[in-house]
Amino acid sequence: MKKLIVANWKMYLTLSQSVTLTKRISKSQITNHKLRVVLCPSFVALEEVGKIVHGTRVKLGAQDVEPEKRGAFTGEVGLDDLASLQVEYVLVGHSERRRIFHETDALVNEKLRAVIKAGMRPILCVGEPHGVRTQGMAKVRRYVGTQVKTGLRGVAKKDLRRTVIAYEPIWAIGSGKSDMPEDAVQMHAWIRKVVGIKSVRILYGGSVSAKNARAFLRAPGIDGLLIGKASVNLGQWRAITHL
Ligand code: PGA
């Protein structure tokens, strides 16, 4: 299975910066057959980034979605809009969405099922806060296990195979302090057990950089990376994707 590298550009870049970075990335990806790369720009940049990557090996992803297709939902971007831009992957339940925008497990599950129904692939983000990690790995397993179970509630087995899970300890996101690969390996094995499907793809995220990416990519059961900050830096990105 090819490793999946997902760039979460959050709200870091302007439209023109997104376009410039995409052009550089898609050029350098042409020679890299070992990875599948997904770029998740802001909604504003999706269309232009899509125009550059369509027909290349680089895939288009969205950072969030409103599960309703169309209607009176001020400020939201719906599934039909993403589909019309040929978005293939959608992040759901990112910890910033859960924490800052108060998304519940139930809403995350609704989004995930809507993404699957629309024929796209969801990337379900899960991970524990620092306060849970300090209580030990048994507590972490329980916390993350609940997020996985509720996030995937009602999803058919065949659709679980199309679903990606990203394990991102919240304390590791944007902190410069990633998890230890051996702890992440343990969590990936646990998540795989909870999902009940060996082939489900599970990524690690949280302060991934050129320095630690190799260790995560080589670790057993880690099928790829979800990268925030380092993915908007071309030097970091090149180093990570050409390991
Ligand atoms: P980070 O973000 O790589 O900047 O820690 C990861 C994420 O939020 O997905």
Instruction: Please give the full DSSP string across 22-80, using - where no structure is assigned.
Output: HHHHHHHHTT--SEEEEEE--HHHHHHHHHHHTTSSEEEEES--BSSSSSS-TT--BHH
- The answer to whether the beta carbons of residues 205 and 226 sit under 8 Å apart is yes
For 123, phi then psi, to 5°, come to -115, 100
User: Does residue 62 form part of some domain?
Assistant: yes
Q: Average pLDDT by consecutive 10-residue portion of the chain (243 residues)?
A: 95 98 84 85 98 94 94 95 97 98 97 97 98 97 98 96 97 96 97 95 98 96 97 94 77
For the domain that residue 218 is a member of, what is the CATH number?
A: 3.20.20.70
Q: How far is the CA of 161 from the centre of ligand 1 (A)?
A: 24
In b/e form, how buried is each residue of 147-157, taking b as 16+ CB within 10 angstroms? Answer: bbeebbeebee
Give the model's pLDDT for residue 5: 96
CA dist 142 and 136 (Å) reads: 10
Query: Best substitution site from 6, 8, 179 to test ligand 1's pocket, by max atoms within 8 Å of Cβ?
Result: 8
How far is the centre of ligand 1, averaged over its atoms, from the C-alpha of 8 (Å)? 7
Does residue 83 belong to any structural domain of this protein? Answer: yes
Sign of CA dihedral 56, 205, 243, 191: negative
Atom number of ligand 1 nearest to Cα 205: 6
Q: Could you tell me if the CB of 212 is within 6 A of ligand 1? A: no
Specify whether the CB–CB gap between 209 and 230 falls below 8 A. yes
Residue 3 lies in a domain: no
Active site amino acids: 94, 168
Q: Is residue 2 part of a domain?
A: no
Residue 152 lies in a domain: yes
Minimum CA distance residue for ligand 1 atom 3: 228
Query: Residue 106's closest CA among 93, 119, 97?
Result: 93
Using the atom order of ligand 1, give the atom closest to the CA of residue 91.
9
pTM of the full predicted structure? Answer: 0.96
Question: Has residue 200 been placed in a domain?
Answer: yes
- Does residue 4 form part of some domain? no
Does the beta carbon of 123 lie inside 6 Å of ligand 1? no
19 assigned to some structural domain: no
Determine the structural domain holding residue 136 and report its residue range: 9-13+25-241
Output the residue whose Cα is nearest ligand 1's atom 9: 228
CA–centroid distance, residue 162 to ligand 1 (Å): 22
Q: Which atom of ligand 1 is nearest to the CA of 173?
A: 5
Q: State if residue 236 touches ligand 1 by the CB under 6 angstroms criterion.
A: no
Helix (H) / strand (E) element for 184: namely helix 181-195
39 lines ligand 1 (CB under 6 A): no
Please report how many Cα atoms fall inside a 13 Å half-sphere around the Cα of residue 133, on the Cβ side: 15
The domain total for the chain is: 1
Distance separating the N- and C-terminal Cα atoms of the chain: 16
Question: Pocket of ligand 1, candidates 178, 229, 236: which has the most ligand atoms within 8 Å of its Cβ, to mutate?
Answer: 229
Atom of ligand 1 nearest to the CA of 206: 5
pLDDT at 34: 81
The structure tokens listed for 237 are 């990105």
Testing ligand 1's pocket by substitution, the residue of 39, 64, 207 carrying the most ligand atoms inside 8 A of its CB is 207
Which tokens hold the place of 54?
């369509």
